[in-house]
Amino acid sequence: MKSLCQIAVTALLTAASTAALALGPQPKPLAQPQTLTLGMVKVGHLSPMQFMAEDMKQCNVQVKPAEFVRYADARTALLSGSVDVTGIGPADLAIALSQGSKEIVGLTGVASSPKYLVVRKGAGIQSWADLKGKRVGIAPGSAVWFQFAATLAENGTPYNSFTPVNIQGGGTAFVQALQRGDVDAVALWEPFESQLVAEGTAEFAKNMDYSQSKAVGAELGLIAASRTAIQNKREALECFLWHYKNREAELAKDPAAFAQAYSQYTGLPLNVTQESVKLIKLGGVLDLPQLQRQAKTFHDLGVIPKDTSAEINTVWDPSLLADVMK
């Protein structure tokens, strides 16, 4: 049975950011060795992932890594049972629910940042009204696209006022499309946003921040586990969360160390990651009310076939984090 303190922390984590909470005592090693399959999505705000294989040895847990480029691939791996825990997009809980699965369970958010439209220099885009007649590169169904589409809906910008250009693949494809002049702007993610700005191809349209929509918010991702792993490997997952949050706190305090870790994790040049870390604030801001608003909005936008807002609480479990935070 949980203590009153644990119940209180769980309630707090359900309603608010974890940024102001501190770690509890380091978990003791597991009595028996265990293996945790960890999905590693190569985005900068998940840079603490690279330390987990070494850190988790202190818990008598062996980490088996699996690398992914996209959140969608990590979500599929969780659904199939190929990984135990990984980073996914904030919308992925609602997507999985709409497909009839409750196997993916969200544990905590990871980071936030402003999301400025990245505009090719000379394209003349500085306001939402300037999008009219322009070509905008998007990744339909991605976490970034959800933020962008929700903001357009909230500020009354017609989606058909510009030409959306669907770009498949990772962020490099977006970079190349803007470099070639195939599009006038891109709704993209780090570190590729800062890469385009650092090389001089583009600039941030700072009057067009699409991270602040009421429906989607500024969260960049979340840590999620399979329900099977929660049932069978709970202690290992709690150990993982403790070490992840410990590394997250270290990097949040030291931008230079964050940029270095970011560069090592993604393979990007340090001059790019140094710019990127100026935008990213490590520490989750996602909560249950935000997830509920997202789920409803995604259905309203026609992205998912059913409104899952009334049941998304069944796939959001902050209790594991509560066990390692105070």
Domain with residue 161: its CATH number is 3.40.190.10
Cα–Cα distance for residue pair 159/118, rounded to 1 Å: 17
Same domain, 108 and 231: yes
Cα–Cα distance for residue pair 145/187, rounded to 1 Å: 7
Same domain, 247 and 314: yes
Same domain, 152 and 295: no
Same domain, 15 and 95: yes
Interval 13-60: pLDDT, tens: 544 445 556 899 999 999 999 999 999 999 999 999 999 999 999 999
Same domain, 230 and 269: yes
Q: Please count the structural domains in the chain.
A: 2
Cα–Cα distance for residue pair 129/55, rounded to 1 Å: 49
Decide if 237 contacts 230 (C-beta within 8 A): yes
Same domain, 176 and 300: no
Interval 193-220: pLDDT, tens: 988 998 899 999 999 999 988 888 899 9
Report the pLDDT value the prediction gives residue 2, as an integer from 0 to 100: 46
Q: 209, 229, 256: which is the final residue of a domain?
A: 209
Q: What is the pTM of this model?
A: 0.85
Q: 171, 188, 209: which is the final residue of a domain?
A: 209
Range of 19's domain? 4-112+218-322
Per-residue pLDDT, averaged over 1-18, amounts to 45
Interval 132-144: pLDDT, tens: 999 999 988 788 8
Decide if 224 contacts 93 (C-beta within 8 A): yes
Least confident of 30-34, 222-226, 266-270, 297-301: 297-301
Report the pLDDT value the prediction gives residue 21, as an integer from 0 to 100: 63
Per-residue pLDDT, averaged over 239-255, amounts to 97
